[in-house]
């Protein structure tokens, strides 16, 4: 009786709407999941042609070798994504939860805009997760499974690098400079055209300790032309994105399970402030004029207020929170002009705050996770650190 009393005191499920869902016969709906997977495979293959070979599917002639290269990207990337989702799926089944097969989300803009072919995938859990153990297991199983799959893809990619001359197949205009092209072509690119993907600790490890010949490792500006490396890099980025410690993300499930409902929400304003701080830091520059700063500062402050509204009830508190982040960023670039941040994270800040949600629903039973799961939580944190990419894209 005492345990039930404590549970009622801690939990207020009225804040979290958990709609009842009708049972679906898997045999009747499996074709939807298969169709979405096939369409996503096509979309990622088309995107692979654009990234790897700079080919437009509708316009340019495409060779069989190029189709196979694009498939190398799409199969690798979707393979990692599929392993990730089935990690969630089978763990949910283990905990006897009603769960759907993965829904894949294709996206391709018909060569009008760049895309990677997908917005990802998700499963629907149709029954309440009652314990913190179940929240933890379901949350971390996907990223850890996907991380292992990404290791295999990256290992294969870095141990099967093509010769340096491979880049001339993609950019024949580089050939006039020979293998010294990097010292010539990037300086001649127009503003906004000099783009490269960022890096992370795992990628750096493979570059420095796994690649048999360092000279074969691609220039950061050209990494997207190597399908296995590109697929592995994107998989690492999405693994870290899923492990951010917020709301319904996998990292949010893990953190909530370990520290509990009260501490999770006490910590939330600080973790989200750190996230927004790094993202918005890219908007500031010690070299900007005061007039330029004042022109976008009101709009940026409005953004900070808008994305922080779910954290506090009082408008004054929200305003002070937004102003505190803004002030910290301004002071940082004043005393450390080299600090740049990455403004792309501000988009994810908006998605997290207004669509995915920052808060975590309580479980029915409040018992914490055991020591083994805490150890797995530390391992999961290490995976996040290895995969986190501070800057996804770098534009000059």
Q: Which two tokens stand for residue 244?
A: 């951010």
Cα 28 from Cα 42, distance rounded (Å): 24
CB 364 within 8 A of CB 315: no
CB 119 within 8 A of CB 107: yes
195 forms beta bridges with: 395
Task: Write down the residue that tokens 């783009």 correspond to.
Answer: 195
State residue 17's pLDDT score. 46
State residue 9's pLDDT score. 39
Cα 324 from Cα 330, distance rounded (Å): 10
Q: Model's pTM, two decimal places?
A: 0.88
State residue 206's pLDDT score. 97
361 phi and psi, to 5 degrees?
Answer: -70, 150
Cα 225 from Cα 53, distance rounded (Å): 6
Q: Which two tokens stand for residue 223?
A: 């990494």
Cα 55 from Cα 224, distance rounded (Å): 13
pLDDT digits (tens, 9 = 90+) for 139-148: 999 999 999 9
State residue 5's pLDDT score. 39
State residue 58's pLDDT score. 82
Q: Is 105 helix (H, G, I), strand (E, B) or coil?
A: strand
CB half-sphere exposure, 395, CA atoms < 13 A: 8
CB 127 within 8 A of CB 23: no
Residues 6+ apart with CB under 8 A from 167: 174, 181, 218, 219, 222, 225
What's the Cα-to-Cα distance from 171 to each of 53, 162, 200, 224, 226, rounded to whole Å?
A: 9, 15, 26, 13, 13
Residues 6+ apart with CB under 8 A from 109: 115
- Kindly report the length of the chain: 396
Residues 6+ apart with CB under 8 A from 172: none
Sign of the four-CA dihedral 234, 235, 238, 243: negative
Task: Write down the residue that tokens 């995107």 correspond to.
Answer: 47
CB 361 within 8 A of CB 128: no
Cα 64 from Cα 337, distance rounded (Å): 49
Cα 370 from Cα 390, distance rounded (Å): 32
- Domain ranges in the chain? 261-356
State residue 396's pLDDT score. 62
Cα 44 from Cα 22, distance rounded (Å): 32
Neighbouring C-beta atoms of residue 2, cutoff 10 Å: 6
pLDDT digits (tens, 9 = 90+) for 325-350: 999 998 998 888 888 889 899 999 99
pLDDT under 70: residue ranges of the chain: 1-28, 187-193, 285-294, 396
Neighbouring C-beta atoms of residue 381, cutoff 10 Å: 16
């Amino acid at each position: 009786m005492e345990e039930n009393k404590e549970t009622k005191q801690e939990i207020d499920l009225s804040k979290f709407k958990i709609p009842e869902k009708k049972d679906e016969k898997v045999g009747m709906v499996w074709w939807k999941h298969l169709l979405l997977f096939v369409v996503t495979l096509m979309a990622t293959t088309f995107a692979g042609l654009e990234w790897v070979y700079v080919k437009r599917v509708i316009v340019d002639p495409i060779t069989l070798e190029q189709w196979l290269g694009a498939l190398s990207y799409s199969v690798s990337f979707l393979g990692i994504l599929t392993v990730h989702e089935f990690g969630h799926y089978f763990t949910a089944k283990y905990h006897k939860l009603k769960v759907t097969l993965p829904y894949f989300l294709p996206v391709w803009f018909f060569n009008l805009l760049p895309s990677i072919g997908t917005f990802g995938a998700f499963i629907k859990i149709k029954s309440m997760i009652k314990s913190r153990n179940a929240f933890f297991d379901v949350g971390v199983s996907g990223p850890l499974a996907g991380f292992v799959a990404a290791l295999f893809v990256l290992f294969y990619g870095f141990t099967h690098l093509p010769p340096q001359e491979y880049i001339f197949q993609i950019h024949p205009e580089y050939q006039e400079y020979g293998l010294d092209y990097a010292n010539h072509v990037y300086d001649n690119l127009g503003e906004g055209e000099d783009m490269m993907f960022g890096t992370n600790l795992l990628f750096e490890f493979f570059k420095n300790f796994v690649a048999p010949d360092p000279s074969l490792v691609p220039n950061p500006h050209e990494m997207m032309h190597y399908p296995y490396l590109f697929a592995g890099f994107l998989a690492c980025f999405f693994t870290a994105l899923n492990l951010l410690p917020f709301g319904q993300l996998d990292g949010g499930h893990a953190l909530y399970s370990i520290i509990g409902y009260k501490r999770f929400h006490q910590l939330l304003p600080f973790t989200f402030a750190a996230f927004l701080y790094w993202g918005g830091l890219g908007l500031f520059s010690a070299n900007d004029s005061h007039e330029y700063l004042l022109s976008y500062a009101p709009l940026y402050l409005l953004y900070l207020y808008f994305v922080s509204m779910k954290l506090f009830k009082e408008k004054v508190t929200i305003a002070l929170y937004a102003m505190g982040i803004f002030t910290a960023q301004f002071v940082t670039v004043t005393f450390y002009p080299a600090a740049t941040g990455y403004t792309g994270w501000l988009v994810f800040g908006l998605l997290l705050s207004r669509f995915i949600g920052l808060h975590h629903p309580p479980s029915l039973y409040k018992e914490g996770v055991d020591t083994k799961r805490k150890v797995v939580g530390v391992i999961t944190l290490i995976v996040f650190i290895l995969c986190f990419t501070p800057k996804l894209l770098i534009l000059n």
